[in-house]
Amino acid sequence: MQAVVDELASQTLTVRGRSFQIYDNPVVAAGAGEFASGFEEGTLRFFDAVLPRCDRTIDWGAYIGFTTLYAASYGVEVSAFEPSRTNFQYLSANIEVNPALASRIRLYNHGIGPTDASVELYAKAYADSGSSVFQVVERAQAVTGRSAGRIELRGAADTLRRAGADSRTLLKIDIEGAEYAVLPAIAGLLAERKPWLHVSFHPFNLAAGKDPYEATIHRLRAALKAAEATACYRYLHLFAEGDWCTIGPDDRAAFLRLYFLQPKAVPRVASPQYGFVGAVAFSDEPLPPNA
């Protein structure tokens, strides 16, 4: 991609009544089309509900910046993390064409892991929104990604502390399967500070290409660790069939017994998935009624 210059051409993107500029580029336009299509409906409805109660957003897995800009339009500070060098260039360009929002946004070109590490990143296509640390992932079949270069990971707990996470923070995690390693690493901080938490779960990125039974057991084990890491929250919220559904403290155990072993279809993924799937949120207070 051409280096960012002083003046970039841009166009306006409006989603759910909120508008910001996006860099005028075919890759960005394609991503904006998906973002505005309803694909992120659950995420954005959660943002709309909780951001009026927040001072900051921490965006782990910012891709090319749409959720970052959407959050910043609420007047909160945003720390956005994106490890892909390609995606980070488009992220930077999208922030640059929004000078009124840019002063509230800090960008970091590294990923998040349980500890500091240098790892290989894999992508299935150019500017892949699903770039991940997993070389083989499941879609319609097992797909082997190509190397997108080595990236740096920063320890999740230290990163969360430095970002100032607290009960008036929205922490959004969309890191393509790495959430299963990261959530246990921040369990103590989640219990202490209780940020609003939104996680996109990707079980199909784990154990792809293995025997289906072995893969299911591996994914369920990872999901149980994620459930343990988030057990400090009183409420679990699941986005399903176009609505956020809340499971309260008295119902969580019964819900998990049924939900974890229920096979769930995921668009463009061949096999049924178990454990957490898609958009799941956690909070220590009830979700506002506009979610």
- In this predicted structure, what is the pLDDT of residue 7? 65
Answer whether residue 267 is part of any domain: yes
User: Are the CB atoms for 183 and 157 separated by under 8 Å?
Assistant: no
Answer whether residue 136 is part of any domain: yes
Which among 110, 37, 55, 54 has a CA at the least distance from the CA of 80?
110
State the total domains in the chain: 1
- Structural domain of residue 161, as residue ranges? 14-283
Answer whether residue 68 is part of any domain: yes
Answer whether residue 5 is part of any domain: no
Answer whether residue 130 is part of any domain: yes
Q: Inform me whether the pLDDT recorded for 4 exceeds 60.
A: no
Answer whether residue 52 is part of any domain: yes
Question: What is the per-residue DSSP string for 204-237?
Answer: GGSSTTS-HHHHHHHHHHHHHHHHHHTTTSSEEE
pLDDT tens digits along 176-188: 999 999 999 999 9
CATH number, position 110: 3.40.50.150
Q: Strand 18-23 to strand 56-60: parallel, antiparallel, or no bridges (unpaired)?
A: unpaired
Answer whether residue 7 is part of any domain: no
Answer whether residue 99 is part of any domain: yes
pLDDT tens digits along 100-145: 999 999 999 999 999 999 999 999 999 999 999 999 999 999 999 9
pLDDT tens digits along 195-213: 999 999 999 999 998 999 9
2 vs 163: CA distance, rounded Å:
31
